[in-house]
Amino acid sequence: MKFTFELIKKDSSARLGRAHTPHGSFNTPVFMPVGTKGSVKGMTPDELTGMGVEIILANTYHLYLRPGHRLVKELGGLHGFMSWSGPILTDSGGFQVFSLGKLRKITEEGVQFSSHLDGARCSLTPESAIEIQEALGADVIMPLDECTPYPADREYTVNSMNLTHRWARRCKDAKIPNGQALFGIVQGGMYTDLRRESAGALVDMDFDGYSIGGLSVGEEKELMQEMIAATVPLLPQDKPRYLMGVGTPEDLVYGVEMGVDMFDCVMPTRNARNGTLFTRFGKLVIKNAQYEKDPRPIDDGCGCYTCRNFSRAYLRHLYMAGEMLAPRLNTIHNLFYYTDLMARMRQAIGEGRFNEFKKDFYGQRLHTEDI
């Protein structure tokens, strides 16, 4: 089955859609929980589907290093390996290599780097990034790109962007016609004209969807929003738009308002492990002493397993005691919050009241005394 995308309805720029993949469909706008190493930390596949998760993300860099893409392919591909029957998106590993800093060297051919596991010398090229993702068997795959650092001067950003474009063409040429969707990745740093140039170059290459990369890398929120607003209108209406590695609930609402369809971020799972929980009123830090005797759930408007069964006082006790159940229950809540937020946005777009939803969303965040 070939990847397809249908745009169902628009409410101003916000979009309601549905993507079809070889492993089922998913509704957009959508948040994809991050399963970096083939596992959404602390969660079983049944727990994810039970809270409405339809698509997850896994990481090419980490799975390439361990256990290796050939082993994953031998054991049934990533779907069979991790017992996840729904769609999977894999990133190319470009951002992880970017994060290695001095441990990596970028050339025209690709990236040479030292494994963070054992220091072994490794390499990724546009062709090998595609080969690895084909072996993993993900439904949506990404080309190798250079994530432009922030800050970066214009000359560096231009060269980085053009390298990403050349790599994108090589990835497209290397990909076999197997039903996997290949998305282009828009770069251009924090320069609106370069973002527009990058979007135009990638649209001319005719990818199955388009990603906006190189954001949430240390820039101010207003600058990130400026880049999103400059880029999204230039991407095709009939193909999905994916904002990579972003972000907070506020970022998701802003992105949907601008016309973004897909999001991923480690924030809900990482924050859960650190004891920070998301509520309709803002963040709740469960280790704070004020919750020691608090009998309320994290959010009395939440229907997740954690909120239906446990008090803030108990969750604080688990966290302070270092119990392994603490990050599990926190993760269940945070992922449910993100998944439910996207479902409510989809409903609002379908009913033509996204602007009303947005006002209610921000209005509730003014009541910080309720946290």
Residues annotated as part of the active site:
91, 264
CA distance 62 to 37: 6
Output b/e per residue, 259-296; b: 16+ Cβ within 10 A: bbbbbbbebbbebbbebbbbbbbeebebeeeebeebee
DSSP assignments along 231-259, one per residue: HGGGS-TTS-EEETTB--HHHHHHHHHHT
The rounded distance, in Å, linking the Cα atoms of 266 and 271 is: 8
Nearest one of 223, 212, 218 to 188, comparing CA atoms: 212
Question: 337-361 as b/e, with b when 16 or more CB fall inside 10 Å?
Answer: bbbbbbbebbebbeeeebeebbeeb
Give the chain's largest Cα–Cα span.
61
How many Å apart are CA 359 and CA 314, to the nearest integer? 33
The residue among 287, 350, 297 whose CA lies nearest residue 319 is: 287
> Residues 54, 45: contact at Cβ < 8 Å?
no
Angle between helices 221-231 and 249-258 (to 10 degrees): 20
Whether 124 contacts 93, CB under 8 Å: yes
Q: Which bin fits 214, alpha (ψ -120 to 50), beta or left (φ > 0)?
A: left
Q: Is the C-alpha dihedral spanning 21, 27, 29, 32 positive or negative?
A: negative
